Amino acid sequence: MKKNKIIINGITLTKGTEAKATVKDGSIIITFKKKESDVKQPKFKKGDVIYVEDKYGYNLAIIERQEDDFIFVSGYLDINTNKTYLSLNDGILFYLKKNIKSVRHATEEEIAKFNKEFSEQKQLRWDEKELKFKEYRWRAGINIKYWYITEVWTIASSLDLHDDMDNNFFDTRNYFQTEELAKKALAKLVVNMLFKN
């Protein structure tokens, strides 16, 4: 039996690409598959903010170091839950490379989201120049509203005059940019008080 050969011009395949042709309902279907070992991964360096999809979900993370099977990170934001996690160089947070579905550099918008969540939840901001987290605490300007927890466990607001009372709220960390953040802090305070013993 004679085998027919079809030559298609104008298609350049990179080394390691498999091409397969099948005939179905009178049509020729050509599929291309690149070998996994030939797929180029983006190059990352310490301090890069990356977007990672693995079998557990989606995260924004900061590269600490890489090894053969692992990517260690200083901290990450779980996009599914908006929770932040910190390792700060102790090597606890890592990704197994074999579990990573895709990874790339984070966009400017994603880095802004990462910093927003870390500043609100941990009062920290990633410094790309110094490659470390720095304390970040929002302070209102003169006559700008802030929120605080009262002595009777309610939420109140005040205009910051930068006087002794406002400075005391700020220094004791009972000082919040939004009512929602004050409510979250109050909820944590209540839980800590209830389960202290």
Give the residue extent of every domain in the chain: 49-135, 144-194
pLDDT at residue 35 tops 60: no
Output the pLDDT for position 22: 80
What SS3 state is found at 130? coil
Supply 78's token pair.
Answer: 């779980």
What SS3 state is found at 158? strand
pLDDT at residue 197 tops 60: no
Output the pLDDT for position 127: 87
**First vs last Cα of the chain: how many Å apart?**
85
Output the pLDDT for position 179: 94
pLDDT tens digits, residue range 135-193? 888 899 999 999 999 999 999 999 999 999 999 999 998 999 899 989 988 998 888 88
- Name the helix (H) or strand (E) containing 73: strand 70-78
- Of residues 70 and 37, the one with the higher pLDDT is 70
Rounded to whole angstroms, how far apart are CA atoms 129 and 7? Answer: 54
- Of residues 145 and 56, the one with the higher pLDDT is 145
- Name the helix (H) or strand (E) containing 119: helix 108-121
Q: Phi and psi for 16 in degrees, rounded to 5?
A: 90, 0
Structure-token match 């279907």, residue found: 29
Rounded to whole angstroms, how far apart are CA atoms 110 and 98? Answer: 24
Rounded to whole angstroms, how far apart are CA atoms 61 and 133? Answer: 12
**Considering the domain 49-135 in this protein, what is its CATH number?**
2.30.30
Structure-token match 């049509």, residue found: 27
188-110-45-90 Cα dihedral, nearest 10 degrees: 10
Mean predicted confidence (pLDDT) in 62-91: 86
Range in 44-58, 66-80, 81-95, 168-182 the model is least confident about = 81-95
3-state helix, strand, coil in the chain (%, to 5): 20, 40, 40
pLDDT tens digits, residue range 15-34? 566 777 788 887 777 777 76
